[in-house]
Amino acid sequence: MTTTVTTVAELRTALASFRPGRIAMVPTLGALHEGHLSLVREARKHAGHVVVSIFVNPAQFAPNEDFDAYPRTLDADLEKLGGAAELVFTPSAREIYGQGYATTISVGGPSAGLETDFRPHFFSGVATVVAKLLIAAAPDVAMFGEKDYQQLQLVRQLVRDLALPVEIIGVPTLREADGLALSSRNAYLSAAERKTAGLLNVILKEAILRARQGDLRAAEGWAVQALREAGFDPVDYVAIRDGETLAPVTALDRPARILAAAKIGKTRLIDNMAV
């Protein structure tokens, strides 16, 4: 049976009944799809109790972004979670950011560049809400998808720096049959845009092959041009970075990651792969 709570006080009371058992948390923005559910299934492997948070966090949306349009499907989300999670936390913005709220968290390191160059507000909003959720729930483990790879590395940095007693586990990206990474924003795509979107992962795979030949910058440049020719506009970035720190690399002498962000119509897609 799945219980829904809306306040931090209710959350802590409910979680107290699970202890001393292990608790896993899966933070989400809702509009759940199979990618989210894969995180929930993975959480079950690491703990006897699973809590999922559903909160469209206003702090990580800029005024010109899709906060108001972001899909909110709470009833459907709860139905999908039935039997998969014991507890669902669905706070209001006022519960998370109460009257007079004046605190934000800024994480350096892996947050530098890439998404920050285009969404400078984003990671502060993510870091703040993730810290609040982890402090409120105090889980033993928390699951984050590798699809948002820079976010995953930022959360790991946050937890290390603040010595939060939680293990962060990255879960591999779930993909459609053509390789498109599952995302709630895929719902925005028209049929023609959806077809083009499937080329993003194909181009990144080819860029990886080119990078392994030795010229990383040439591989990045080829991928940017290939995405533009495929119909992506603008292409915000294609970058090969250190797999842990996300610092720029000049050679594949360590684990590395290729990351990309590009728009089709009004929909901004991101993806990444190990190199």
Burial class of residue 265 in the structure, from the number of CB atoms within 10 Å of its CB (0-12 exposed, 13-18 middle, 19+ buried): middle
The CA angle 178-181-187, to the nearest 5 degrees, is 95
From 36, 46, 49, 121, active-site residue: 36
33 is catalytic: no
Indicate which residues carry an active-site annotation.
36
